Amino acid sequence: METLRSKAIQNLSINPFEIKVEAVGKITSFFGENVFTLQTAREFLSDEAYKSLKGSIKGNKKIDRTVANQIATGMRAWAESKGVTHYTHWFQPLTGTTAEKHDSFFTLKTDGSALEEFDGAALIQQEPDASSFPSGGLRATFEARGYTGWDPSSPAFIMEIGQGKTLCIPTIFVSYTGESLDYKAPLIKALESLNKSAVDVCNYFDKNVTKVTPTLGWEQEYFVIDEALANARPDLIQCGRTVYGASPAKGQQLEDHYFGSIPERTYAFMRDFENESYKLGIPLRTRHNEVAPSQFECAPIYEDVNLAVDHNILLMDIMDRVARRHRLKVLLHEKPFAGINGSGKHNNWSLATDTGVNLLAPGKTPKTNLMFLTFFVNSIKAVNDYAEVLRASIASAGNDHRLGANEAPPAIISVFIGEYLAKVLNDIETRVGEKFDEQDEAILKLDLHRSIPELLLDNTDRNRTSPFAFTGNKFEFRAVGSAANCANAMIALNTIMAETLKTFKKDVDALIEKGDKKEIAIMHIIQKYIVESKKVLFEGDGYSEEWHQEAERRGLPNMRTTPLALDAMVTEKTKQLFESNDVYTHAELEARHEIELEKYIKKVQIEARVMGDLAINHIIPASIGYQNKLIENIKGLKETGLPESTYASQKQILKEISEHIQVVYSKVHDMVEARKVANNIADTRARAFAYCSDVKEPFFDGIRYHVDKLEQLVSDAYWTLPKYREMLLLK
Ligand code: ADP
Ligand code: MG
């Protein structure tokens, strides 16, 4: 019997598909050629328009209507010179992907004459008919309007893969009444809040600092498999992960894939998507194999957070489109295959001043080291005080397979800082109670100065199990899911940092008012913060059982599932945090909570349905087919008069298959019933909990266990779904 599976495998060996990727020469010769950079703007805009655009990028200055018209005209001229006919506002709704609605420059005037047009109004604001995007009830259905608004700090670009050439304008997406409905609007607000608090604290050390911008360098992990094999797996197509599949004999135990040479076909794909990314100004830097077979990673040079977020979401889109050209399928899901490593998206994060200083890099002088220590300790304190907010920001059905399972990193948020800095903090802490005097201060500065620079040479971070690790000149937030929009994590991280720095300033100023010298006051508060946030520091193995017990003793939250983790979004403390930093109103947070719960419910619901469908329409029929073959064989042997011992094994296999089929069928049936009960729960939070604890937990692994047993019992010739070894090892 020919199946999609057998066809896919045959095609792979007869005609391995490979497209040639042209050599492109120096990357600098085409980097950013499809971006309306300031350099391009210089060429296409009047002086006035150029200055205004530049001002709005650098200093968040408003652009007025007439200048907007000029900018729009310049953008269109540039885009048309590259063969573009359409434009779109490009935004990031809470569905997790990007959204576009294309309009042509072409228009008809009232007198019937045709012309191409793109004015300031069209650049600045649009009203897409976007009533189906999730709003968590923020837009009543009678007022479904949502607006997109231009974000000049992220440059316009031309997307030319797949569907013609389109000028894309990065925008925010807000409701008619101003509530944000996307990831970008709150991110920009969080960055503003961080900027204010961080500049204030910087000014203790350097009055010249007027702007602080968080930086982000993400590392994107992903799997790539043959498209035809993927298409033969309804679960991969609909859920992005395999809901069934027995572990192959050869998984990742040899670790021979890790940093090994990249398979030729994947290599062509990589070069192709990298070239497309370069044209769009995404500064990709590294590519390599990851631990699991068919798993890879790429990472760019870090950028300002807002731009880095746009570039990551754009890259995910590009990868998906370019993969099609290569008849490959990119899997961005956090856990496409059970039993082998999942995928994450490490968020390397730091803070940069407009004077060119990385605030999380140890300085060259004692004074700059005190500034480093201030920001370093405030980061730890922020994570300590708001661990649950960070945890909520990365919660998703997909990420539960990493965080809630026995896999890197754990759901417990802790901070790894390495032994040198642990010692520095410890030294400072042991002076608690003693009063700092001038001499102490000098010694401490010297200590810091002596011990910190070694870090840079040593780069102590070998702890791969920490969700939040200091890596020499930045923190690495490792618990972010591979499919996530980094914005969510960055909104949380930058807001908690903004809040903590604000408090720090208040605390220091209070001591200064009481008569402490500035630097002594700073040291005192640093010391206080170290004591207060000590419990979040952990240097050991984050996967270990001991850590789970230890964390519990320390009172650190361990939220294993998404519905549980999301509760932190709507506590009084969280509402207060986001409101006082002007990032989210209470209503916005409640809406987002609702949306995240809905997303979770839908994801689990789809997976449950797919599991049922595959069990009934693929697994059981294949198993019965083979059973019939066995029955025929047993009957035949019996007829020839041979003793029962000659077909005892066949009978045993037959019996086992029957038993597994019975369990699979009855569990699928019970799962459907559990779903019906869950679906009738009106309250969204309660429904999400029911999906987690009454649908997913009691059934998913249980059904899977028996299906995977069947895969190992049933003749390969009858099995319709591509197996793990095929998807992971065939190229
Ligand atoms: P590794 O030793 O882990 O390869 P790298 O320094 O190369 O570390 O950085 C990994 C990621 O961290 C890259 O995406 C890089 O751009 C990013 N990164 C480096 N410095 C910073 C910084 N100051 N802020 C944000 N991200 C950074
Ligand atoms: Mg890393």
State whether the beta carbon of 146 lies less than 6 angstroms from ligand 1.
no
CA of 348 to the centre of ligand 1 (A): 6
Q: Is 571 in the pocket of ligand 1 (CB under 6 A)?
A: no
Domain with CATH 3.10.20.70 in the chain: 27-182
CA distances from 620 to 65, 173, 612, 627, 636 (A): 65, 47, 11, 10, 24
Nearest to 182 by CA among 540, 571, 487, 569: 487
Q: CA angle, corner 445, sides to 443 and 449, nearest 5?
A: 115
- Separation between Cα atoms, residue 200 and residue 501, nearest integer Å: 9
Which range of 41-50, 145-154, 446-455 scores highest in mean pLDDT? It is 41-50
What is the atom index within ligand 1 of the atom nearest the CA of 361? 23
Better-scored residue on pLDDT, 156 or 108: 156
Backbone torsions φ then ψ of 42, nearest 5 degrees: -55, -40
- Predicted pLDDT at 457: 44
Task: Give CA–CA dist 269/324, Å, rounded.
Answer: 10
Go through the chain and tell me how many residues it has: 731
**Which ligand has its closest atom nearest to the C-alpha of 475?**
1
Q: Ligand 1 in contact with 217 (CB < 6 A)? A: yes
b/e per residue, 28-66, with b = 16+ CB within 10 A?
A: eeebbebbbbeebbeebbeeebbebbbebbeeeeebeee
Segments of the chain assigned to CATH 1.20.120.1560: 599-729
Average pLDDT over residues 150-178: 89
Q: Cα separation of 204 and 496, whole Å?
A: 20
Q: Higher model confidence: residue 700 or residue 259? A: 700
Number of the ligand closest to the Cα of 282 = 1
Testing ligand 1's pocket by substitution, the residue of 348, 461, 463 carrying the most ligand atoms inside 8 A of its CB is 348
Say how many Å lie between the CA of residue 301 and the centre of ligand 1: 7
Residue in 194, 216, 302 to alter for ligand 1 test, most ligand atoms within 8 A of Cβ: 302
Plot region of 259 (φ>0 → left; ψ -120 to 50 → alpha; else → beta)? left
21, pLDDT greater than 60: yes
In this prediction, residues 609-623 reach a mean pLDDT of 98
Encode 264-279: b = buried (16+ Cβ within 10 Å), e = exposed.
ebbebbbbbbbbbbbb
* pLDDT exceeds cutoff 80 at 434: no
pLDDT above 90 (res 447): no
The 10 Å Cβ neighbour count of residue 163 is 11
Q: Residue 132 pLDDT > 70, yes or no?
A: yes
pLDDT tens digits for range 541-564:
888 889 999 999 999 999 999 999
CATH architecture entry for 191-584: 2-Layer Sandwich (3.30)
Give CA–CA dist 298/169, Å, rounded.
Answer: 25
Q: Model confidence over 71-101: pLDDT tens digits? A: 999 999 999 999 999 999 999 998 878 888 8
Ligand of minimum distance to the alpha carbon of 345: 2
* Token pair in block for residue 683: 């309250």
36 lines ligand 1 (CB under 6 A): no
Whether the predicted pLDDT of 454 surpasses 80? no
Between the CA of 725 and the centroid of ligand 2 the distance, in Å, is 28
**Sequence ranges of the chain with CATH classification 3.30.590.10:** 191-584
Cα of 328 from ligand 2 centre, angstroms: 26
Rounded to the nearest angstrom, the distance between the alpha carbon of 218 and the centre of ligand 2 is 8
585 CB under 6 A from ligand 1?
no
Ligand 2 centre from 203 Cα, in Å? 31
Q: E strands of 447-489, at which residues?
A: 468-470, 475-477
Does ligand 1 lie within 6 Å of residue 474's CB atom? yes
Question: Helix, strand or coil for residue 295?
Answer: strand
pLDDT at 159 over 80: yes
The answer to whether the beta carbons of residues 671 and 243 sit under 8 Å apart is no
**Mean pLDDT computed over 579-585:** 97
Q: Residues 386-394: what's their mean pLDDT?
A: 98
Least confident of 47-61, 72-86, 239-253, 455-469: 455-469
Distance 217 CA to ligand 2 centre (A): 9
What is the pLDDT at residue 134?
Answer: 77
**Mean pLDDT score, 214-227:** 97
Rg (CA), the chain: 28
Matching CATH number, 599-729, of 1.20.120.1560, 2.40.50.140, 1.20.1260.10, 1.10.230.10: 1.20.120.1560
- CATH class entry, domain 27-182: alpha beta
Q: Which ligand is nearest to the CA of 300?
A: 1
Average pLDDT over residues 31-37: 96
Ligand 1 atom index nearest CA of 350:
24
- Tokens at 352, concatenated: 């940069």
Q: Whose CA is nearest to atom 2 of ligand 1?
A: 471
The per-residue pLDDT for 418 is: 86
Question: CA 705 to CA 710: how far, in whole Å?
Answer: 9
